[in-house]
Amino acid sequence: MRKNAVAVVGAAETTELGVIPNMSQIQLHADAALNAIADAGLKLSDIDGIATAVETPQQIAHYLGITPTWVDGTSVGGCSFMLHVRHAAAAIEAGLCKTVLITHAESGKSMIGKLPRSTAPDSLNGQFESPFGVYGPPSMFPIPVLRYMKTYGITHEQIAMVAVVQREWAAKNPRATMKAPITVEDVLNSRMIAYPFRILQCCLVTDGGGALILTSADRAKDFPRKPVYILGTGESVETPMVSQMETFNSSRAFKVAGPLAFKEAGIAHKDVDHLMIYDAFAHLRSMASAISASCRTRKPASSSPTATPAPAASCRSTPTAAD
């Protein structure tokens, strides 16, 4: 795809975030969608493309009364919506649609109108991992993180420090659910979930969502908001089973998607000064930044029990999370 050919012209979250027991999951999708459409200065009738996960595109289209000419229901976990941006940009460039709505929302805390997470007994996971206790992210992630810790000499205190720093960043957001500062001791004394992860190192489960509006660059200048142009994208997947990862120390999908995005954008690592990483669990920030090499991480000092891999002074790292 050509860089800067497509832009984000609207973005919004649900009106409320955190615990929303009075709204179902599909209502949260709709709330975020309507807010994003208003942010872009559009009407529902202006939308001709829909991308979503958790709920299906046809559910969202029907609920909102949209008749799309292009839909995408790609679902690969918490990063599905980043893939949707790439797919939407390609669809717009190909002339399949003009204005795309991307939505994500979950009633993760209240569980209103949401099916419980389940694994089919005859699926790959159901046959080959679930019988041995691997069920869902909290019990999947500990396997690679233990290998990562052993290989690179990362301590429990250093992994805990990541959660502490993430909380500091969260406190700067007025809409954050968790704002109270925490310490390494707080993290290590919190309830054990699946070794080595304690509850303060696991993805926060909340109610809420967000939405984006994308359109072509030649139309973007006519919108009320300053457009955010898509410079480059990349995507890949590896395996639904943690036991079948190519290596527990890193992600093959990261290694494929990262170079694709840099190549498409026509930039090098030295050009990047702001890094946002999908950091659902405490180890992902360190692993992802090391794999992407967008920021050169410092090796933790063995003399400091609370040292943690940190971005170089010239690179700002802003945590983002999704489940």
Task: Return the structure tokens found at 43.
Answer: 């009407």
Residue ranges, CATH 3.40.47.10, the chain: 6-114+206-229, 142-202+244-318
User: In this structure, which CATH number among 3.30.540.10, 3.20.20.70, 3.40.47.10, 3.40.50.620 belongs to the domain 6-114+206-229?
Assistant: 3.40.47.10
Q: Answer yes or no: is pLDDT of 224 > 90.
A: yes
Which of these ranges, 197-211, 242-256, 283-297, has the smallest mean pLDDT?
A: 283-297
Q: What is the pLDDT of residues 235-271, one digit of tens each?
A: 999 999 999 999 888 889 988 999 999 999 999 989 9
Which single residue is written with the structure tokens 């990063």? 79
Cβ density class 33-60: b for 16+ within 10 Å, e for less: bbbbbebbebeeeebbbbbbbbbebebb
Backbone phi, psi, residue 134, to 5°:
-90, 105
Residue by residue, DSSP assigns 154-195 as --HHHHHHHHHHHHHHHTTSTT-S--S---HHHHHHSPEEET
Q: Which fold has domain 142-202+244-318?
A: Peroxisomal Thiolase; Chain A, domain 1 (3.40.47)
Instruction: Quote the pTM value.
Output: 0.87
Q: Answer yes or no: is pLDDT of 293 > 90.
A: no
Contacts for 27 with CB less than 8 Å, ≥ 6 apart: 113
Q: How far apart are CA 317 and CA 304, in angstroms?
A: 22
Mean pLDDT of 22-29: 97
Q: How far apart are CA 167 and CA 190, in angstroms?
A: 15
Cα-based angle 240, 90, 319 (whole degrees, multiple of 5): 55
- pLDDT cut 70: percent of the chain above it: 88
Mean pLDDT of 314-318: 37
Q: What is the pLDDT of residues 68-109, one digit of tens each?
A: 999 999 999 888 999 999 999 999 999 999 999 999 999 999
Pairing mode of beta strands 99-107, 49-52 = parallel
Contacts for 300 with CB less than 8 Å, ≥ 6 apart: 153, 154, 155, 158, 307, 308, 309
pLDDT band at 321 (very low <50, low <70, confident <90, very high): very low
